[in-house]
């Protein structure tokens, strides 16, 4: 999912399915329609206090409401905008056939019973976007990601890579000593694999549990899924590895403008920072100082001095970050 992220979906503007003019323009159209059938109401239509004018306003408001409702219903049918049950229905389409992951089964033995926990809309939407890739039998990146994510409910992210090789030109004197039809290759890029060979597919797995390192159960489930004869191309050799976890801490001094209780502001900065670090906990997603500054700089914050980390965390396609703690220290007002 690292290479085929669905972030582009979120940046799409809302389409205008039905034209939705402003209220005054719509009211003018309604009044013109009424006067076409009852021109004697012309004077009444010019006074807002007249019953006929109020009826025209009610009609215009109702038409505007219905158009907005139609727009909302149309948006719910689009992958980028659908949420909750609407997204589940998109997943049930015959050419998609992808259901939401159950992260935790319902536990009726508890009092009160614990409800089932499901995959959130953001992650489910990303898998739906990849669903058609799963039909391919040629081994594209998207197909590996789709099937890898579907292998186990604890799989949070998958990254795909592959080594590259070039033919080694053997000197004639050496070639004469080799068996006929011998082909020697040199590794141009190893994709982080030990002793890579042609056909290797490097598959990095990140878990949603703990610090992100997948358990043996998760790795086995992904391996079984990707080595299924109906999924794995004949010439491919999937080689799985857990993501290397890069731990870090966030520590910052925060100054505030005079005003409301700073505790409220720092709580919001804490929430935004937690959201940023969770959002970056994916394979190959860097943690940047600019991103942390933006998260901490909520309204009411005057200045931020980051102590940790001291520089950007460059996360490779074999790594994922894990934030151990967030400490925002109140240094009072700076004005």
| Burial class (CB within 10 angstroms; exposed 0-12, middle 13-18, buried 19+) of 203 | buried
Q: How do residues 54-98 score in pLDDT, each as one tens digit? A: 999 999 999 999 888 888 888 888 898 899 999 999 998 888 889
Strands of 244-256's sheet in order across: 301-308, 244-256, 319-333
Task: With beta carbons less than 8 A apart as the criterion, state whether 208 and 155 touch.
Answer: yes
DSSP letter at 39? Answer: G
Percent helix, strand, coil in the chain, to 5, is 35, 25, 40
What is the distance between the alpha carbons of residues 47 and 36, in angstroms, rounded to a whole number? Answer: 18
The pLDDT assigned to 6 comes to 55
The pLDDT assigned to 131 comes to 87
Q: How many residues does the chain have?
A: 335
Pairing of strands 164-167, 102-104: unpaired
- Predicted TM-score (pTM) of the model is 0.76
Based on C-alpha coordinates, what's the Rg of the chain? 29
Q: How do residues 145-184 score in pLDDT, each as one tens digit? A: 999 999 999 999 999 999 999 998 888 888 888 888 888 8
């Amino acid at each position: 999912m690292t290479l085929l992220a669905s972030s582009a979906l979120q940046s799409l503007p809302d389409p205008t399915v039905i034209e939705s003019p402003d209220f005054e323009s719509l009211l003018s159209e309604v009044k013109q329609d009424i006067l076409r059938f009852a021109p004697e109401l012309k004077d009444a239509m010019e006074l807002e206090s007249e019953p006929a004018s109020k009826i025209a306003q009610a009609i215009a408001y109702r038409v505007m409401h219905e158009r907005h409702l139609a727009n909302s219903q149309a948006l719910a049918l689009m992958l980028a905008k659908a949420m909750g049950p609407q997204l589940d229905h998109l997943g049930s389409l015959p050419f998609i056939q992808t259901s939401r992951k159950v992260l935790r089964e319902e536990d009726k033995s508890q009092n009160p019973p614990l409800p089932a926990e499901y995959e959130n809309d953001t992650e489910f939407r990303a898998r739906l976007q990849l669903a058609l890739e799963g039909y391919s039998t040629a081994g594209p990146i998207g197909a590996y990601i789709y099937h890898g994510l579907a292998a186990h409910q604890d799989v949070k992210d998958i990254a795909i890579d592959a080594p590259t090789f070039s033919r080694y030109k053997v000197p004639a004197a050496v070639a004469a000593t080799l068996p006929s039809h011998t082909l020697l290759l040199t590794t141009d890029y190893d994709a982080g694999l030990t002793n890579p060979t042609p056909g290797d597919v490097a598959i990095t797995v990140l878990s949603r549990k703990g610090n992100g390192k997948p358990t043996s159960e998760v790795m086995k489930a992904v391996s079984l899924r990707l080595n299924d004869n109906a999924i794995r191309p004949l010439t491919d050799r999937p080689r799985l590895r857990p993501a290397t976890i890069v731990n870090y801490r966030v520590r910052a001094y925060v100054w505030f403008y005079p005003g409301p209780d700073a505790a409220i502001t720092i709580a919001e900065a804490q929430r935004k920072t937690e959201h940023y670090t969770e959002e970056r906990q994916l394979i190959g997603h860097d943690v940047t100082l600019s991103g942390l500054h933006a998260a901490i700089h909520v309204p009411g914050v005057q200045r931020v001095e980051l102590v940790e980390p001291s520089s950007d965390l460059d996360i490779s396609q074999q790594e994922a970050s894990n934030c151990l703690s967030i400490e925002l220290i109140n240094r009072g007002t700076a004005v």
